C-alpha cells in the first residue's frame, strides 16, 4: 500500500513516500475481507494480556527537524498516541467479544456502520497515527512514480493542482481531523477527502494513499507547529 504525506518534510526535501504498484490495474484492487481471528484465551486469562502496544515511528524522533521537532513527536507520539493505546486497551478489558481482531479490523468493526462503538475513537486514532508516522521519512521527496503521477494528472489536472487542493483542504479543516488522498473504489478515481476527529477512509472501504494531520490549537505546544503548518505543506 503506497503512502504520501504532504504534511512534513526534512532537510529541505519533501517527506514523500509513494508506491506505484496499486495503479497498475485498478480493477484488481481489493482490501482483505474482514475476518475474525480465533480467540483461544479464556475470559480470565485475557485480563492480563496486553492487546496493543505503542508502535515507534520508523525514524529517530529528531529526524524530521526542523519541520517537525523532536519535542512535538515526543508529545504527540509519546504522550497523546500513548494515551489512545492505553485507553483502547482499558476499553477492551471490558469487552471480550472484540478480542482477536487486527487493528484494521477493529476500526471497521467498531465504526459499526456509522454508529460508532465506545472503542472506535481510540482504535481509529491509534491506526491514524501509526499510518501518519509511516507516511513520512527523513530526506524524502521527489515526484510520485509514473503510474500514480498519471492518475493524479488525470483526476486533478496536474500534480500542482493536486497539491493546492490538498493544502486547501488541510488548512480549511475546522477543528481536529485528517485530510486524505484516497482511491475511490467504485469511481476508480483519486479524491481528497476530509474527516473529523478519528474517522478514516478504511471505514468506507476506500483505498487510502496518504494523510495529513491537522490539530486543534488548544494547547501551547501545538501553536508553533500550527503557525508553520502552511509553510510545511507548501514545501512538501
Domain borders along the chain are: 9-20+62-234
Rounded-to-integer distance, Cα 15 and Cα 111, Å: 30
Do residues 136 and 60 make contact, with C-beta atoms less than 8 angstroms apart?
no
Q: Which percentage of the chain shows pLDDT scores above 90?
A: 39
Predicted confidence at residue 141, as pLDDT, reads 64
* Residue 123 vs residue 36, higher pLDDT: 123
* Mean pLDDT, residues 24-42 taken together: 39
Burial-class residue 81 by CB neighbours within 10 Å (0-12, 13-18, 19+). Answer: buried
Q: Assign 98 a pLDDT band (cuts: 50, 70, 90).
A: confident
Whether 155 shows a pLDDT value over 90: the answer reads: yes
* Mean pLDDT, residues 86-113 taken together: 91
Q: Assign 213 a pLDDT band (cuts: 50, 70, 90).
A: low
Is the pTM here over 0.75, yes or no?
A: no
* Mean pLDDT, residues 16-44 taken together: 42
Rounded-to-integer distance, Cα 92 and Cα 101, Å: 11
Whether 104 shows a pLDDT value over 50: the answer reads: yes
User: For 9-20+62-234, which CATH class?
Assistant: alpha beta
Cell 480465533 sits on residue: 38
Nearest to 99 by CA among 147, 50, 148, 145: 50
* Residue 114 vs residue 176, higher pLDDT: 114
Q: Assign 174 a pLDDT band (cuts: 50, 70, 90).
A: confident
Predicted confidence at residue 39, as pLDDT, reads 39
Predicted confidence at residue 226, as pLDDT, reads 43
Do residues 101 and 37 make contact, with C-beta atoms less than 8 angstroms apart?
yes
C-alpha cell read off for 11: 532537510
Q: What is the 3-state secondary structure (H, E, C) of the chain?
A: CCCCCCCCEECCEECCCCCCHHHCCHHHCCCCCCCCCCCCCCHHHHCCCCCCCCCCCCCCCCCCCCCCCHHHHHHHHHHHHHHHHHHHHHHHHCCHHHCCCCHHHHHHHHHHHHCCCCCHHHHHHHHHHHHHHHCCCCCCCCCCCHHHHHHHHHHHCCHHHHHHHHHHHHHHCCCCEEEEEEEECCCCEEEEEEEECCCCHHHHCCEEEEEEEECCCCCCCCHHHHHCHHHHHHCC
Predicted confidence at residue 96, as pLDDT, reads 79
Among 20-24, 107-111, 182-186, the range of highest mean pLDDT: 107-111
* Mean pLDDT, residues 150-171 taken together: 93
Amino acid at each position: 500500500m503506497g503512502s504520501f504525506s504532504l504534511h512534513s518534510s526534512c532537510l529541505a526535501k519533501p517527506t514523500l513516500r509513494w508506491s506505484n504498484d496499486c495503479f497498475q490495474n485498478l480493477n484488481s484492487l481489493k482490501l482483505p475481507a474482514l475476518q475474525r481471528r480465533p480467540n483461544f484465551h479464556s475470559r480470565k486469562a485475557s485480563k492480563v494480556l496486553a492487546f496493543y502496544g505503542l508502535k515507534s515511528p520508523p525514524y529517530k524522533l529528531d529526524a524530521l527537524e526542523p519541520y517537525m521537532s523532536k519535542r512535538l513527536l515526543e508529545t504527540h507520539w509519546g504522550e497523546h498516541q500513548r494515551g489512545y493505546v492505553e485507553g483502547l486497551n482499558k476499553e477492551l478489558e471490558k469487552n471480550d467479544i472484540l478480542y482477536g481482531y487486527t487493528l484494521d479490523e477493529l476500526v471497521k468493526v467498531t465504526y459499526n456502520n456509522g454508529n460508532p462503538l465506545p472503542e472506535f475513537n481510540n482504535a481509529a486514532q491509534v491506526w491514524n497515527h501509526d499510518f501518519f508516522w509511516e507516511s513520512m521519512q527523513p530526506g524524502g521527496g521527489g515526484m510520485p512514480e509514473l503510474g500514480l503521477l498519471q492518475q493524479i494528472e488525470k483526476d486533478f489536472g496536474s500534480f500542482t493542482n493536486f497539491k493546492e487542493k490538498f493544502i486547501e483542504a488541510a488548512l480549511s479543516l475546522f477543528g481536529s481531523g485528517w485530510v486524505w488522498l484516497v482511491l475511490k473504489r467504485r469511481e476508480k478515481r483519486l479524491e481528497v477527502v476530509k474527516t473529523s476527529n478519528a474517522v478514516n477512509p478504511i471505514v468506507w472501504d476506500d483505498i487510502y494513499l496518504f494523510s495529513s494531520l491537522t490539530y486543534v490549537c488548544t494547547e501551547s505546544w501545538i501553536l508553533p507547529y500550527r503557525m508553520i503548518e502552511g509553510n510545511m505543506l507548501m514545501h512538501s
